[in-house]
């Protein structure tokens, strides 16, 4: 790769990181190129697709943020507190960084690193929930799928309130967390959790896929 191409790729990565974090993973690619001071043809030439760019720019960031949250959650003595920390922290990440919000609640099958990270995050979440369940801290029928769906709606809510009342999402989180304490269940749930394939479909549509 020639030196100028290298430089342009770097400029594009920087611009993409900025814009993804400001406005989410759906910003127009032409706008990224504009901010990088480069023709959009160059962007297509160097990265080919949006997902390739996302994979290079966002994967590391997401891995850090989500990994840290999970690790910290598992370090709590009280499993219930760890779970509450994790749920609220992920929601907070979604609220403060649209890129993370889209990673958590989106669908990027061609972004390999990102997919790996999502898998790991999903596993961590399951462990955190399981631990809280075993400790009797949350109702036993709450699953990882339920949490992921909640994150999906939280991403949209957090973005909707961002300019108006940036903490408004916290109330919804509080209602969920307070309500999950084990004793509240009033009869069995009438619906089963979704299968992985269903989750994949649904998260795509939540994020606005065709």
Partner DNA sequence: AGCATTCTTGACCCTGGGGTCAACTTACGC
Partner DNA sequence: GCGTAAGTTGACCCCAGGGTCAAGAATGCT
Q: For the CB of residue 66, give the shortest distance to DNA in the complex, in Å.
A: 25
The H helix count followed by the E strand count for the chain is 10, 0
d(CA 108, CA 52): 10
If binding is defined by CB under 7 A, does position 8 make contact with DNA? yes
Q: For the CB of residue 112, give the shortest distance to DNA in the complex, in Å.
A: 18
Cβ partners under 8 Å of residue 88, min gap 6: 170, 173, 177
Site string for its own copies, 162-181 (x = CB under 8 A): -xxx-xx-xxx-xxxxxxxx
**Which positions from 34 through 73 interact with DNA, judged by CB under 7 A?**
38-42, 44-46, 49-50
Cα–Cα–Cα angle for 94, 63, 69, rounded to 5 degrees: 60
Cβ partners under 8 Å of residue 32, min gap 6: 12, 15, 16, 19, 43, 53
Residue 41 binding: pick among its own copies, DNA, none (C-beta 5-8 Å cut-off by kind):
DNA
150, 129 Cβ separation under 8 angstroms: no
46 versus 69: smaller Cβ distance to DNA: 46
Q: For the CB of residue 110, give the shortest distance to DNA in the complex, in Å.
A: 11
Contact residues toward its own copies (CB under 8 A) are: 139, 142, 146, 149-150, 152-154, 156-157, 159-161, 163-165, 167-168, 170-172, 174-181, 184-186, 189-191, 193-194, 198, 201-203, 205-206
């Amino acid at each position: 790769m020639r030196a100028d191409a290298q430089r342009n790729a770097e400029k594009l990565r920087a611009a993409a990181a900025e814009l993804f974090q400001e406005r989410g993973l759906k910003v127009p690619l032409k706008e990224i190129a504009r901010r990088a001071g480069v023709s959009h043809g160059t962007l297509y030439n160097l990265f080919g697709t949006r997902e390739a760019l996302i994979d290079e720019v966002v994967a590391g960031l997401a891995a850090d943020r989500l990994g840290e949250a999970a690790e910290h959650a598992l370090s709590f003595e009280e499993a219930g507190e760890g779970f509450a920390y994790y749920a609220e922290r992920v929601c907070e990440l979604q609220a403060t960084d649209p890129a993370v919000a889209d990673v958590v609640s989106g669908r990027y099958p061609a972004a390999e690193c990102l997919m790996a990270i999502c898998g790991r995050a999903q596993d961590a979440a399951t462990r955190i929930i399981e631990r809280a369940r075993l400790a009797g801290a949350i109702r036993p029928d709450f699953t990882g799928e339920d949490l992921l769906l909640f994150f999906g709606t939280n991403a949209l809510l957090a973005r909707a309130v961002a300019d108006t009342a940036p903490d408004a999402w916290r109330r919804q989180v509080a209602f969920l967390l307070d309500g999950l304490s084990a004793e509240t269940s009033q009869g069995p749930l009438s619906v089963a959790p979704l299968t992985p394939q269903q989750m994949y479909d649904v998260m795509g549509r939540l994020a606005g896929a065709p």
